[in-house]
Amino acid sequence: MAIDTNEAFLLILVLLLLFRECFTVVDDTLSMGESLSALTVDRLSSQNDKFELGYFKRGTSSKIYLGIWYKGIEDKRIVWVANRENHLSDQYTARLEFSNDGNLVLLQASSKIPFWSTNLTHLPSNSIEAALLDDGNFVLRDRSNLSILWESFNHPTDTWLPGVKVGTNQLISWKNSEDPSPGVFSFGLDPNGVVQFILEWNNSHVYWSSEVFNNSYLFCKININLENETYINCPNLILSISSIGQIMGIGLQLGNESWTQPRSLSNVYALCGAFGIYNNNSSNPCDCPKGFEPFSDTETRLNDWSGGCLRKHPLQCENRIGQKDWFLKISNAILPVNSKAYSQLSARRSCKKWEVWVIVALPILVIVLILCLSVGFSSKGKLKCKGDVASSYDLLLFDFSTELHAINDKTNTKDNATKSGKKDVELPQFSYESVSAATNNFSNANKLGEGGFGPVYKGKSLNGQEIAVKILSKSSTQGLDEFMNETTLIAKLQHGNLVRLLGSCMEGDKKILIYEYMPNKSLDFYLFDPTKKTMLDWETRIHIINGIAQGLLYLHQYSRLRIIHRDMKPSNILLDGEMNPKISDFGMARIVGDNEAQANTNKVVGTYGYMSPEYVMEGLYSIKSDVFSFGVLLLEIVSGEKNTGFYNRESLNLLSHAWELWKDEQSLELMDSMIGRPSCESTIVRLINIGLLCVEESPSDRPTMFDVVSMMSNEHAHLPIPNQPAFTTCRNLMHSNPKINCAENCSINSVTISVMEAR
């Protein structure tokens, strides 16, 4: 019986499929000239048979992917996918092989354009091989010396295996349970420099964050490599992000103990999509309200509800069939971020005919016009018809780079500028609803910290601009006076070393300030932490000291108003992305006249350890009060220690310790030992000298900030010899005479100190 060519081909194909195990590549390496074929189910197996690399499909889908999975597990727990963004469709011609330049490429049929490639340059193509290691890492290496040129650990998909160095790369979820293409959820390190894990939706909305690391978190350790890059190593933890936005971890040291965040799917952002409702049902947690249906039955079955729900029928104003629209009441439902619950009246009004608008609006316009004319004539032109209530802006839609200028250009006319002499800056008022939406309803995941004023949250507008939202807490020791003081005062200040106030919100009892966001938090976050302080090298510390001095000089001498800050301390020094210092928190600040040497207050406020003696004891403050605080701050930056952190040591405080070292000509011993010796030790000694000059007991002996900046900028100028600092003698008196009461002898009046320790 004759067999034609097609029948022969089919016969060979059937035989290949029947005996495909005989042709399967099960080695752990792939060399030049070899290839992995989807037709013969070729695969690489790690040396101890823990992992396999090969081709796979999920469910009923015809899409083909190259991936790595645990060997021996029935459902093939996929831990890495090569071509997740570009699937194969023809299993008979798919192959993984080496190109002429030594790269691994994934091809199909006669196509010369790879579906995936290692995409390296300058490879030693004659000695290249690929290998699947026992830790699940697929590597491209030089066979002659086994040096790794490329590795899958540096290109993760949805899983981090033990040993992966977690740096800037993220885990991206699968689109659904059968489709490994990139989904909308991601997991990784916070890109803003905070050492913590975050879960993010669509790379724009953080909906969960871990606690901030010290040395470790779970089974992960902080490491800093030779290039001074921070990364996380999790040698005993498998981390994987699911297609429904949860991060799951398995600790290898504790008997496969599992860990999941967020614990409830209700905290996964936009899980159920538009008009979808989360119902806490483990098998199908998303549902549609009455009158709606799922966007796609297939997606729902595959645990992908991002498509949300669609209306079954159009609204009345769309179909014109005469039926009335109505609202369905849903109890125990939490509205989504930035939701607007329009009333039934406003919804129906949008569907009314234009004739109704004319009938209703025309009489109202006539009445308003008559009233305006009446008021205008009765006041002889002194009053004009305009709205007295300022409109609130939507924080989500606001563009700070352009709209702030537009607002101020609009309000500062030439006539106004002439009358006032200088332009006043007008701050935009934002609605509470939009501020809440920008911070994800003030979620804990967005909380940056909390001080004497109240909590501070990170927010983001729709165009990606990041902000810091500072709320006046009802339990705050600061009140409306401090809030109004900061709002009116800092708005008029413009300097590179002062934090920028962008706007405010006042609705009912809610009082909120909007600032530019400082990604590196405050100075105390690094300075007093044994691990984080190493990020502040000597060059950075000197840069920070100079920046603070420039900011204070502007406040004291060059700003429109002569301002005394009165609360200078590390927690009020914020750091931007380039570690530039910015002075913040002007709630305690006061304005003094150009010729006013000092002022007096009956309420002494500030932070213990930074207040000058004349302010503590007599309630007197001046620009020299800020100079004293700056001196304390300078010595803290140099030493890496708090002024008040000497309770169990021989010295009373940092000032006393610095003075003793200065007298013994051992000033360099004050330097932070965690950083090492700087190349410019003379500069550090000079800064310590300046710091001691700033903390002298008598205000008249202290330099001005103009003098301080001059002494810093001119390294060859002669420096005065400092006198003994304030607050350095009380403990010595107690040692010589235990009957002396320090509290009684260190204060000469009865002024109450209201200490406000922020953050």
Catalytic residue annotation: 567
Q: Encode burial over 586-604: b for 16+ CB neighbours within 10 A, e otherwise.
A: bbbbbbbeeeeebeeeeeb
Question: Residue 556: helix, strand or coil by DSSP?
Answer: helix
Structure tokens at 647: 């309770």
> Which of 357, 291, 285, 277 has the alpha carbon at shortest distance from 327?
291
d(CA 553, CA 547): 10
DSSP 558: I
d(CA 325, CA 321): 11
Q: Is 728 exposed, middle or buried (0-12, 13-18, 19+ CB in 10 A)?
A: buried
Cβ-proximal residues to 92 (8 Å cutoff; 6+ apart), any chain: 38, 39
Q: What are phi and psi of 615, to 5 degrees?
A: -75, -45
d(CA 21, CA 209): 47
Rounded to 10 deg, the angle between the 538-553 and 681-694 helix axes is: 40
> Which of 693, 682, 629 has the alpha carbon at shortest distance from 658?
693
Q: Which amino acid is at 701?
A: D
Question: Can you name the residues that pair with 508 across neighbouring β-strands?
Answer: none
Structure tokens at 80: 């890495």
d(CA 660, CA 212): 37
DSSP 634: H
> Which of 727, 537, 501, 690 has the alpha carbon at shortest distance from 614?
727
H or E element that contains 687: helix 681-694
Q: Encode burial over 222-257: b for 16+ CB neighbours within 10 A, e otherwise.
A: beeeeeeeebbbbebbbbbbbbbbbbebbbeeeeee
d(CA 376, CA 378): 6
Question: Residue 504: helix, strand or coil by DSSP?
Answer: strand
Q: What are phi and psi of 7, to 5 degrees?
A: -65, -35
Question: Can you name the residues that pair with 67 across neighbouring β-strands?
Answer: 54, 81
